[in-house]
Chains A and B, each alone.
Chain A
Amino acid sequence: MALNGAGKGPELKEAAQPALIKKAQGAPGTLSEREEAQLMAEAEPFVRFHLLEDLLNAARANSLWPLTFGLACCAIEMMAAGAAKYDLDRFGAGVFRPSARQADVMIFAGTISRKMGPVIKALWDQMPSPKWAIAMGGCTIDGGPFKYPNQYAIYEGADKLVPVDVYIPGCPPRPEALINGILELQNKIKAGRRFKPSTHEGPIPIAKAERTNAPTGRKVKG
């Protein structure tokens, strides 16, 4: 997918691509197929409590407490999403916890510099599982405007550090995009099942069914 170096001469393109691929392979959360299957087999519990699991997942999805944690300009939009105009608290996601021990979701909001990397890793490790990560903004998806061949200052994407659940593009994304990201994360946690929405605000008029993971027909992979 990386289009970097396009039109800047073939040598730049050549230099950029292999490094990217190498990093993607070394990233946490990307295992070989066999390893993954093995892990899944080990993690499979003997007995499953479907009702209980559904209940817990519904509770988790509707109570996503983010970590008070901003990295750069996207954090301003994150604050806006928490404030009166957009109000993340409507979805139970407005309780920004100062301590990583009490947070459920880490919103990467901004450029991840090399110096910040270990701090972020420590914070992520301090969070009790189950935990989720949202990559907000171009910088946290793949480096964004700071990505160029041989750069040494930033991590090219949050998934170089932690496994990311939802990606939100934009520079920076609007607060609506963050809210949509949290709603999509809720759907992911609930695996499609959801509480019946309360009726006092009326039904949701937009066609949510149309919004799949690849919402528009314009997506091209690779």
Chain B
Amino acid sequence: MSADTSLVAPGAEKKRGYLALLVAGFFTLLSGMWVTLKNLFRKPVTLRYPRERPELSTAFRSAIDLVDFEELGSHDCVACMQCVNICPSFCIQVEGQKYDGVKRKRATKFLVDYALCSVCGLCIDVCPTETLKYSKIYDEVSFERDAFVFDLLEPFVEREEAFLEGQRIADAKEAEEKKKKAEAAKKAKAAVAAKKKADGGEEAEKAEKPKAEKPKAAKPKAEAPKAEAPKAEAPRADEPKAEAEAEAPKAEADAPKAEADAPKADEPKAGKVDKAAVEAKPAEPKPKAAFAKPDSDAKAASLARIEAAKKRALEKKKQAEQQAEGEGE
């Protein structure tokens, strides 16, 4: 019998005898069986999902979330609508409002429909205040079709009043600084003008001088607030951090107790502070756990505790500022 080509792989059409082909084929089968036999006794690679959780890579993308800035104590969405406009899936809905005494606009509604979102990330690229990020949701499930509209502002609602209060103070300060600078500049200008008048004569030269001086005067004016702003905010950013760090290990040490302790520790402090601050302060520190689910519970809890500590520190800072201002007036 001649070589049977129908038993040969198309790539390897070597002329071989009938029996040689059979024997060779038999041994390739054996080698295949050896592979499966080896794997039969190896450890499974399965991630046993409900019992074990995956380690998500840093590049993992899911529905968007608002960044919680430490120095602000809140998100920084100014409702500029850029994300809404660039979204190809029409899945973001934002509304904003301008508050009295606060310079920037503030988002009052931020809804994302995760069911429509295709995680393209355009909104994150376009955000001017960089307050959008990818969340790490990965096993969301529901029995209802319209359960995937996420309200991103929800974790921030309770802090909003305090934030606005703080922002008002900061903005007022800034405005005051500006005003002072402006006045100083005016005075300087007036002095220059007076000097000019006093000098008299040679008008051609004098006419040029103020022109040359004006930008010089304007420059410090423009720089002053810039230089001032970080100074004003630096302690605000540093102090809560320091306090949070001081409290965090303590909170982690007595993990189960911590949550019960947190409000207790607040009580004496709360007695001293004025009414507005008490209202603004949440009764229970709400963990930002909604989007931080993949972490282990302990980690999430400690994160929440740090978060609460930060918040408390921020409140204290604000009260101090308010009191200082009250005294100043």
Contacts and interface: CB of A to CB of B under 8 A. Distances in A.
Whether A and B touch directly in their complex, counting CB atoms under 8 A apart, is answered as yes
Interface of A: 1-8, 84-87, 90, 135, 138, 141-145, 147-148, 157, 159, 164-171, 173-177, 179-181, 183-184, 188, 201-202, 204-208, 213-222
A197 B11 CA distance: 51
B149 A1 contact: yes
B138 A164 contact: no
B18 to A, nearest CB: 37
A177 B141 contact: yes
Given A167-B142, A179-B49, A138 B115 contact: yes
Contact of B117 (A5, A138, A184): A138
Interface stretch (B150-158, B159-167, B196-204, B302-310): B150-158
B141 A184 contact: yes
A149 B220 CA distance: 53
Given A7-B85, A85-B45, A86-B46, A144 B115 contact: yes
Interface stretch (B70-78, B89-97, B98-106): B89-97
Given A177-B139, A218-B154, 18 more contacts: A3-B91, A3-B113, A7-B85, A90-B48, A135-B145, A138-B114, A138-B118, A141-B115, A145-B116, A147-B89, A169-B114, A169-B148, A174-B54, A175-B49, A180-B49, A207-B297, A216-B293, A222-B149
Nearest to A222: B146
B47 interface: yes
Interface residues of B, number: 52
Given A84-B44, A147-B116, A218-B154, A179 B92 contact: no
Given A85-B46, A148-B90, A176-B138, A184 B149 contact: no
B151 A218 contact: yes
Contacts of B169: none
A98 B87 CA distance: 39
Contacts of A205: 51
Contact of A215 (B87, B91, B140): B140
Interface of B: 44-51, 53-54, 62-63, 81, 84-85, 87-94, 111, 113-119, 138-152, 154-155, 290-291, 293, 297
B140 A168 contact: yes
A188 B47 CA distance: 24
A1 B146 contact: yes
Contacts of B293: 215-216
A145 B151 CA distance: 20
A157 B148 CA distance: 14
A6 B93 contact: yes
A169 B44 contact: no
B116 A166 contact: no
A166 B142 contact: yes
B144 to A, nearest CB: 7
Contact of A86 (B49, B91, B92, B114): B49
